Structure 1
Amino acid sequence: RFVSYAKLSKDHKCFITSLSMSVIPRCVEDAKEDPKWLQAMTDEMDALAKNNSWEVVDIPKGTHLVGSKWVFNVKYKPDGTVERYKARLVAKGFSQKYGIDYLETFAPVAKLKTVRVILALAVQKKWSMDQLDVKNAFLNGHLEEEVYMSMPPGYAQSGKCCHLKKALYGLKQSPRAWFERLRV
């Protein structure tokens, strides 16, 4: 079968072309070979350090380490051109053990029906509305548990690990930690 792009707008053609040009690495080794991805990883590590997300410590004896991994993605502008290369360090929450790495995970979330009713009321009553987005929200939650994570791939130090001070994406308790931060 043949697919034609003839009926696409110029912006859509540009977007389709950029998709085929941006190769997202599957592993750290591939990412470190490309300066764009290496810079994205450096930016993420700098942001986590500035946020005081963890401290590097010697691995305590008998401690369970939660794994870590990199997730890579390309962010695009509306016209389809590349906005930035994003590298996010995440914890492997599936490797957490209940009672050791986490206890409570529940975080309340509004039902979509409730949000729709509120929006409908706002429109009907002509209420003014605002919205906001907290960038990297989960990274602002404080952990109640002692969580130790393996060093980020590509940044390993022999015998060292990360003692987490704040939540990371991927941890089972991250949504709750963020909710608790908002409640205060």
Structure 2
Amino acid sequence: MKIKILFFFLFIQTFIFAQKPCDYAVNVTDSIGTLKETKSCLVYEKVFGNKSTLIFMSLQSVNGVPVLKMEYIQKSNDFDAPKCLDKNSRIIFQLSNGKIYTLINGEEPKCDNLVYNEKEKTNNRFLEASFLFLKDDFEEITKHSISLMRIRFSGSSEDYVFHKELTSETLKETYKPDSFFIDNFNCIAN
């Protein structure tokens, strides 16, 4: 009887603590190698007056090397200064346990692309970049939530607070930015 109860609890724990299934935007293996990319997650949104800022993140695995892909989108009626990345650009995450993870810009220096929307009379800026992990130890980042993100652009830094739940005004969907690595890192680690 004790063995049956033990197996029952082990069986239940498997379902309780199981991670959610991976949702890929790309999952390709060919003669060149393997590329996996998780679907984008909105991690930050600010809508204030005639200006909105959205930041999306996804994780990639390029032949087993983890990469963070970031998309920075800004929409405004005013003309805003461009956001640029250079060789010194970083994304720094502070976890809920106080640990810091720094990722470095993995691309050539570049600035956002400006696209003017004639119909809405708005300036739309798009910046997409890939960042590389400096550490091979991913234990802390997969166990603890993100509390703060700092993006070091060329000449400036901006801080973004991560929330447990983010209901987007623009997209009308709900995201969980603080558990981004907890929910997605296992999808590219295999």
TM-score normalized with structure 1 length: 0.25
- Higher-helix-fraction structure: 1
- Higher-strand-fraction structure: 2
Q: Which has the higher contact order (CA 8 A, sep 6+)?
A: 1
Over alpha carbons, which structure has the higher Rg? Answer: 1
